[in-house]
Structure 1
Amino acid sequence: MNSEVCELKELEVEHFEIREVLRCILHTIIFHRALGLIRPKAIDCELFEITYVQCGDAEVEKKIEEKIDEFINKVEKHPNRKSQICLSFYEIKNKQSTWFGNNKVERLYWEHWYIYLHVINPKAHGKSHHNKATTDLGGEALEQSTSRHAALESSIREVLFQIIRFVNEKKDHLPSIPNHEGISFPYEITILSSSDSSFGWHTDVLKRMLQTGHPTMIS
């Protein structure tokens, strides 16, 4: 099976912006790849003048929040480092083993999305809202913060358009769509963190494995 990879534009964010940014991106990707019957729900970002769409699926929302919490915990342990999240879609195929008749479950990956975040000063503002975080800043610092925030909002919009372009252009690799409601295919969200110079090498190896549709076998 062919497997497509989309690497999204890297975003520079502060700690208090992580949750909203990841919610926006992850939900947008899953919405566009939820090929079954769903109940779309428009969401206005709290920190940005951006509206995105969720699938209206409680399990999806729960899983995304759990992964964002995991990402934030990792960022707090390793501040000021670039981090990645990989969102992968796959099919599940049952495979009869030739040894002792044991059945295996094979994951056939058909799409991978890489989200790159560079978190700066991760504990500077905690969970503060942007407006509150900039209240006590001087004039020049306030201007710089406002400019950075506007640039980030613009970059998020670019990422959303990048997602839309990809899903509109890349269709030949899509598997047959199951005839049921909700999220059509299972997915997984993997968090990677750049801890040292070997990170790029490990990421390249992982990408090559994923691009070849390398299956994961589960007993």
Structure 2
Amino acid sequence: MNCEVFTLPPLRCEARQAKEALRALTHTILLARALGPCAPSDVDSALFPDLTYVTCGDADVERVVEARLGAFASWTAKRGRDVARRGGDAREIYARVCVSFFERDRGDRGGGLGGSGSGSGAWEQWRIPIEVTLESGDGGEGDDAAAARAREERSLALRDEIRGAITHALTLANERVAHVPPVTRAGAVSFPFEISLPGDGASGTLGTLRRVMLASSPPAMLT
């Protein structure tokens, strides 16, 4: 089966912002492919002001998403420690989080709620490139009012990028449906899915991903 691949605009964020940014986009993607009965729930971001995203309202989906985002945060922290241990001066971590959907006859994959894996055999995959800026550790005297304002401006810009990515994902999901298999199960999880992280296996694409992100312009908010 051919796999339809959607790549969202790259996100650039601080380590403390990565989970919330990925949380908003992951839930948006999962809701877009929740084609059975579900109870959508609006969520106001606890980190970004005036940012609201929608989940499919399923507790099991929420549990899987949080577990995978926790694993991503752990992987990011480990990469940061590795850089510090080697005495490197790299301040960014480049990664890609993927959400893949499968047909039910390819295996139940834990009742449709999947975690790690290679994504082979998927009929659709969403790729979220992300650049995580590591903490510099020099926030003492330099963390003045001007620096605080600059940090707030970057946070608001990231919020707008997340909004744009949400709009872009929903537009793609609504317009590109010819490849979507028939729904054969009831409930919020219409298709088995998995959320794959760079720490799940070989990550030979990360060098290429870094070059792509360095060459790309920050995504504009879609209107």
> Runs of 5+ in structure 2 lacking a partner?
81-91, 108-119, 210-223
Provide the aligned C-alpha RMSD in A.
2.8
Give 4+ residue runs of structure 1 displaced > 4 Å after superposition: 122-125, 200-203
Aligned to 2:42: 42
Distance 1:52 1:71 in 2: 20
Query: Cα distance, 1:93 vs. partner?
Result: 2.2
Amino acid at match of 2:97: I
Query: Cα distance, 1:146 vs. partner?
Result: 1.5
User: Is contact 1:15–1:123 with CA below 8 Å preserved after alignment?
Assistant: no
Cα displacement string for residues 11-62 of structure 1 (whole angstroms, at most 9, x for unaligned residues): 1111111221111111110011011100111100011121111111111000
Alignment of 1:114 with 2:100, yes or no, is no
Distance 2:39 2:131 in 1: 33
User: Is contact 2:27–2:55 with CA below 8 Å preserved after alignment?
Assistant: yes
Going from structure 1 to structure 2, the CA distance change for 1:202 and 1:152 (only over 3 Å counts) comes to closer
Residue 147 of structure 2: which of 106, 121, 141 is its match?
141
Amino acid at match of 1:45: S
Query: Cα distance, 1:179 vs. partner?
Result: 4.8
Larger radius of gyration: 1
Q: Identity of paired residues, percent?
A: 32
> Runs of 5+ in structure 1 lacking a partner?
96-106, 126-132, 204-219
Query: Cα distance, 1:117 vs. partner?
Result: 1.2
Distance 1:124 1:25 in 2: 29
Query: Cα distance, 1:181 vs. partner?
Result: 2.3
User: Is contact 2:93–2:134 with CA below 8 Å preserved after alignment?
Assistant: no
Q: Secondary structure at 1:149's aligned position in 2?
A: helix
Distance 2:203 2:36 in 1: 41
Q: In proportion to residue count, which structure has more strand?
A: 1
Distance 1:150 1:46 in 2: 13
Cα displacement string for residues 128-170 of structure 1 (whole angstroms, at most 9, x for unaligned residues): xxxxx9xx93122122111111110111011001101111210
Alignment of 1:31 with 2:31, yes or no, is yes
